Chain A
Amino acid sequence: MPLFRKILIANRGEIAVRVLRACRELGIPTVAVHSEADRTAMHVRLADEAVEIGPAPAPESYLRQDKILDAARKTGADAIHPGYGFLSENPTFADAVREVGLTFIGPTGDSMRAMGHKTPARALMAKAGVPIVPGYQESQQDDDLVAAADRVGYPLLVKAVAGGGGKGMRVVPDAASMREALGGARREAAHAFGDDRVYLERYFDEARHIEFQVLADRHGHVVHLFERECSVQRRHQKIVEESPSPAVSADLRERMGKAAVAAARACNYENAGTIEFLLGPNDEFYFLEMNTRLQVEHPITELVTGRDLVQAQLRVAAGEPLLFDQNALSQRGHAIECRVYAEDPANGFLPDTGPLFTVAEPRGPGVRVDSGVASGDAITHHYDPMIAKLVVHAEDRASAIRRMERALDDYVILGVTTNLRFLREVLGHEIFRAGGATTRFIDRHLSAWQPAVEVPPDEVLIAAALADSLGSGIGATATGVSTPTEDAWRPWRRTDTFRLGQRADR
């Protein structure tokens, strides 16, 4: 008896594909929803059914709660998986799904609300005994804040209560600049969020971002699946993650894991979630926030624990108890994830868009590619420019790094500028290799990175010229290649008459 009759996936790209595959393995039919721009996207191709829900811009399609609920009703789906991003952390949507009698594969709206606002979440964590970043949020009076700043200590952060994306945030180096920073943060917060309330947090210049995966069922079981090291970030977005963290000892792991479980219990959590911690240089750790959904980087946890997190999500959402307790969980080997983006690392990591003429993914033992695009698809400006998550698993960290370097080398993506070379640079950097990367690593050591200007080897020019020769049909038949058309080198526009790879001597 399958867990659900039919699951609708309210997402797109690689995560929709990931969830679809888990559903198929559990024998559950799937429904994809998609925008006009995604009519032939991979998640649509792989789903049993697909429903178009609006134009390309996300607010008119993937964020339209009414259309998604309507699609579920029309197709007879009895559960909705939100993936990550879009509506995944929207408590109103989680409530609305349940109100129409469907299962939302994720936590309750109330759990999301408890963790969704920074200052109440900090208060809740403090009450549950989870360490929070030293700070002050008890008053909005400037005099109180300035007095509290001395106790918090400098440097410190003034943060907007309603903040996000760095808006309404100021790093304050000393007491002399405190009042000016308060005013600036308030003005920016009022402008961006219509709410000028702020709070204070101690600022850590060299810290790590360590997060713990948790899973909770409806029967009172909460487990953690260890940590993910996510310090390698550009523009405050993670690009390389690994598990275990080279900075976390067995003792620290146990303490952080207990704090993560306590945090999940404090908000009556159910399903998969992530507790983000800041880890200071002396093993001091503090709660940052909880992500009340599946994380992008969940595969590294799956590889080191051997547990399928999406299948666990479905079981828990169906009301089943967790299949394992804390004692059954352990970490085996080392996993690394690289986020492969269509972007230009030499130009401020600006996203690139365009057709993907050729995508040839790396293979081999311990290599996993979670991708939502294939040859012939495109990266458009409508959505996130992530092409794939390249994930490797090996016996130890050094072997995992070597495996990742090999896999990055084997990855072929033609049509857009990618960060593959930059990722290779990160993996090869002595600080990363020594396990010493903090959240400032890329800013400090790789922000000025430029690809080396090199003369292409002759084989590159030979390949281009022969492709051009064959493409225009010059002598093509005599080489053992049937005469291709002008489109031969554009799989993008391939037709049935395109026949490459046939030998004339056959």
Chain B
Amino acid sequence: MKAHEIMRRDLSSVEVDTPIAEVIYLMEQSGLASLPVVDEEGVLVGIISERDLIRAALPGYLEMLHSASFLPSLNQLSQRLKEMASEPVSKYMHSDVISVRPEDEDLQIADTLIRNELKQLPVVDEEGHLVGVIRRIDLLYRLV
């Protein structure tokens, strides 16, 4: 099975200059935990996830969560997110995006998802345009 047969043809994405407040709003409304970031031509240039936002707001916070037995106050996180709200997503996104092509095989996709511990992979055409997304669950659903 090839990537274009598995992928969700959902181009939900944000642009590099989209403010963080808009990114959070879009994640909340769409129910997506991460969003591809595209340039004005629709070429994939990054990925922004909830995890990236928390890490940016409170460096070390995620690591602390693993060892702490209770949650500290969220005031600091809230304050920092408010400061970040008007900043562009390009400041916090991952630019080293791992992606696959529509003609890539399922085995290669599974390998990429597992090796890189990814929940989803963007699919891009030969010019780098975002054409879809493959979630781990999409692959599992097709394989079962």
Bound pair (A, B): no
Q: B interface vs A, CB < 8 Å?
A: none
Q: A interface vs B, CB < 8 Å?
A: none
